Amino acid sequence: MKMILLAVLFCLYGNFAFAENPNVAGEWLIDQTCDPFNVHRVIVCGDDTWEWYEGGFEPYVEGMSNYFDVSQTVDGTLSSSVEYGTLTQTLNGEINGQNITFTTTSLAESYFDNVYDTQYLVENFTGVLTNGTISGIFNGTYFQSQTDNSCTQTVTGQFSGTFTIKENRNARLYPIEFPDADYWTPRGILGNPIVAESGERLEVHWVGGWLPGQEDLHYELRYYRPGDRPEGWRIGQCHFFEGANSAFFFSPDRNENTIPDYFASIHWISRDFGNDDNHDGLLDVIQHSYDVGSNKYSRLRSKFDYACGPPVSVEPDLYTPLCSPPYGQLRSLEVIDPPLGSETEELFDSLLLEVPEFPMEEIVMGCSSIRLCDMDSDGNCNSIDLQIVKDAVGKCWGESGYYPLADIDGDGCVSDSDVVLIFGIGYPDLNYDKIVNFADFATFAVKWLDSNCEPSNIWCDAADLDTSGRVDILDVIVFAEYWLEGK
C-alpha cells in the first residue's frame, strides 16, 4: 500500500497574506520550516487493525492528480471532508499592529483506486516585527485519510514551525520631481502630489516666510496616509543654500495602470553643493529614508572632506559637481532612526535652526538628476559605481570601507537589501540607460551560467535576476518579461 505522509503539505502549500492596510508595505515573501510531531497512525484492512504513534517522520509526497478547486472556506475551524478538491482555511491575526491572514490549503484527490483526503489547520501563530521583517512560530493540527482498495489509513497529529516574512523588494523605483525654488517661488505644494491606490500621498512643499529675517526657506517632503493627521508627516527636507536634492520612492504597480499600488519606501537625499553653509570645512550629505511597512524613519548625516570646492558646483549647472566623486574621506556620520511621529517632527525643526542667509535673487535649492545608483555623482551609473558598492557590502558605520551613500535604507550597514534597492536586482536594465534591450542582453550573456552569485558581487553584477545564486534560464524568463520596457 502506498503511504502518503501529509504534514509536509502544510510546508508546501501554507502561506501568509497581509490584509489590505495602507500601513503595510504590500507584498511579502515567506520562508518557513515545518516539523510534525505526536503522529497517530491507524491502518484498517478488513478485520485487521494496526495502530501506532510516532514522534515525527520524514516527508514524502506521491505525484498528485485529478483534483480541482471547490468553493468552500472555513474561518478558524477544521472543516468536514471535501471530496476531490481543495479546501482553503484561514486564521486572521495581528503582529505588532500588522494585520495578517494565515492561509492553508487542504487537498482531496483520487489516484487510480486510491482516495486521499488531507486537512490541517494552523491554530496559533505569534511573531515580532523588526526592521521590516516579521519572524515567529506557528502550530496546528492535521488529519489524513487514505483509502486503497480494502484498506483505510488515517493519520492525525500536530505540526509546528518557524516563519520569516520579508518585504518583497520587487517594487520599482520612481523619481519624485519638483522645480528649483528661490525667494520668489510661491509657498506651498510644488508640482503634482503623488497619490497611491492605497490612499497614501506624497507632496513636496516650498516653505518659509516673506519678511526679511523670517524666510527660513526650505523644501519639505511630506507623507500622508488615510485617517492620519491632515498636515501629514515630514520625511525629507533640504535647508542647504544651493542644495542638490534627489527624491524617489519604491512601489509596485501590479495592474500596470501607472498608479502606485502603495509606497514601500521613500527616500530624500540632500547634498550641500554650494558654499560651506556651516563653515566647518566639510561637505554635508543628509539621507532621509522612510520604510512604510515598519513605520521607521532614519536619517544619515555624513560629513566628507571636499574633493573639490567649495562650492562643489557653479552656475549655470548648480547640481553637477566639478569633480567626480566630490566626496573625499568620510569624517563623521550621525545615524538617527526613530519611528515616524512627534520625535521626527522635532528632528526636522532642529535642522531649520541651521538655515543660512541667502541672496533673494538667486536659486536657493533645486532638484538634482543624480540617480540612486550614481555613487560618485558623475551623472552615470556604470562599473565604477558597481565597484564602489561591492567594496562597501558587509561594512557598517565605523568600519573601513563603509560608504554611506550605498546605505540606502539608513540602518548603518551596507547590506543585501541596499544592493537590491540601488541596482534594482530583478529589473534587467543592466547598463542603466532606462530601457531593456539588446545592450542589456549582451551584458547579461557575459554572465551566463555564472554561479556563486551573492550580495558581495552584486548578484553577478545584477545578472542573477531572481537572486538564486546562478545565472540561468530562470533569469532569461525574467529578462523576457521586461523586454523593451523603459522607465
User: With 60 as the cut, is the pLDDT of residue 60 above it?
Assistant: no
Copy the grid coordinates of residue 59.
516527508
Q: CA-to-CA distance for 265 and 122, rounded, in angstroms?
A: 31
Inform me whether the pLDDT recorded for 462 exceeds 80: yes
Q: How many helices (H) and strands (E) does the chain have?
A: 7, 21
d(CA 446, CA 5): 45
Helix (H, G, I), strand (E, B) or coil at 279: coil
**% of residues, the chain, pLDDT over 90:** 24
Annotate 22-46 with b (16+ C-beta within 10 A) or e (fewer). Answer: bbbbbbbeeeeebebeebebebeee
Q: pTM for the full model?
A: 0.65
The confidence band for 186, taking pLDDT boundaries of 50, 70 and 90, is very high
Per-residue pLDDT band for 385 (boundaries 50, 70, 90) equals confident
What is the pLDDT, as a whole number, of residue 170?
A: 55
Q: Which residue from 64, 107, 66 is spatially nearest to 88, judged by alpha carbons?
A: 107
Q: At 242, is the pLDDT very low, low, confident or very high (cuts 50, 70, 90)? A: confident
Query: In the structure, what pLDDT confidence band is assigned to residue 275 with cuts at 50, 70 and 90?
Result: confident
For the chain, the straight-line distance linking the first and the last C-alpha, in angstroms and rounded, comes to 57
Is pLDDT of 33 > 50? yes
Residue whose C-alpha is closest to residue 10's, from 113, 89, 99, 110: 89
Write down the pLDDT at residue 244: 92
Residue type, 338: P
**pLDDT of 370 above 50:** yes
Q: Where does the pLDDT of residue 235 fall: very low under 50, low under 70, confident under 90, or very high at 90 and above?
A: very high
The predicted structure's pLDDT at residue 76: 32
Given a contact cutoff of 8 angstroms between Cβ atoms, the answer to whether 176 and 249 are in contact is yes
C-alpha dihedral sign at 431, 433, 437, 439: negative
Residue appearing with cell numbers 492553508: 104
Q: How far apart are CA 451 and CA 470, in angstroms?
A: 4
Which of 258, 218, 486, 213 minimizes the C-alpha distance to 364?
Answer: 218
Instruction: Kindly state the average pLDDT of the residues 403-422.
Output: 85
DSSP 8-state class, residue 19? P
pLDDT for 29: 47
Pairing status of strand 85-95 against strand 69-75:
parallel
Least confident of 282-291, 316-325, 369-378, 387-396: 316-325
Q: Prior bond to 175 cis, omega within 30?
A: no
Residue 420: its pLDDT value, please? Answer: 75
- Strand pairing category for 133-148 and 114-130: antiparallel
β-bridge pairing 218-224 and 151-167: unpaired
pLDDT for the residue numbered 344: 94
Residue 141, pLDDT score: 77
Whether the pLDDT of residue 57 is over 80: the answer is no
Taking Cα atoms as reference points, which of 485, 392, 477, 388 lies closest to residue 435?
485
Beta strand spans in 198-325 (E): 201-207, 218-224, 233-238, 243-251, 265-272, 283-291, 296-306
Q: Decide if pLDDT at 256 tops 80.
A: no
Residue 27 has pLDDT above 60, yes or no: no
Name which residue leads in pLDDT, 163 or 297: 297
Q: pLDDT-derived band of residue 80, with 50, 70 and 90 as boundaries?
A: very low
Instruction: Report the mean per-residue pLDDT for the chain.
Output: 75
Contact in structure between 291 and 338 (CB atoms under 8 Å): no
> What pLDDT, on a 0 to 100 scale, did the predictor assign at position 343?
92
**pLDDT value at 68 more than 60:** no
Q: Report the SS3 class of residue 349.
A: helix
Q: What is the mean pLDDT of residues 440-462?
A: 87
Higher pLDDT, 472 or 74: 472
Q: What three-state secondary structure class fits 144?
A: strand
pLDDT digits (tens, 9 = 90+) for 195-210: 998 899 999 999 987 7
- Does residue 371 or residue 214 have the better pLDDT? 371
Q: What is the pLDDT of residues 92-144, one digit of tens each?
A: 666 665 556 556 555 555 545 555 666 666 677 777 765 456 677 777 777 77
pLDDT of residue 78: 32
Q: What is the mean pLDDT of residues 434-461?
A: 86
Residue 310 is predicted with a pLDDT of 93
Q: Is the pLDDT higher at 164 or at 243?
A: 243
Helix, strand, or coil (residue 216)? coil
Could you tell me which of 297, 244, 247, 241 has the C-alpha nearest to residue 267? Answer: 247
> Crossing angle of helices 473-481/438-446, nearest 10°?
170
Q: Which three cell numbers stand for residue 259?
A: 498608479
pLDDT(24) > 50: no
**What mean pLDDT comes out for the span 278-291?**
92
CA dist list (Å): 338 to 165, 166, 300, 334, 419 = 22, 20, 12, 13, 23
| Residue 78 contacts residue 108 (beta carbons within 8 Å) | no
The confidence score (pLDDT) of residue 56 equals 41
Longest dimension (CA), the chain: 100
Which of these ranges, 24-38, 269-283, 315-329, has the smallest mean pLDDT? 24-38
Give backbone dihedrals phi and psi of 442, rounded to 5 degrees, phi first.
-65, -40
Pairwise pLDDT comparison (472 vs 482), residue with the higher score = 472
What is the structure's pLDDT at 16?
Answer: 38
Q: Has residue 192 got a pLDDT over 50?
A: yes
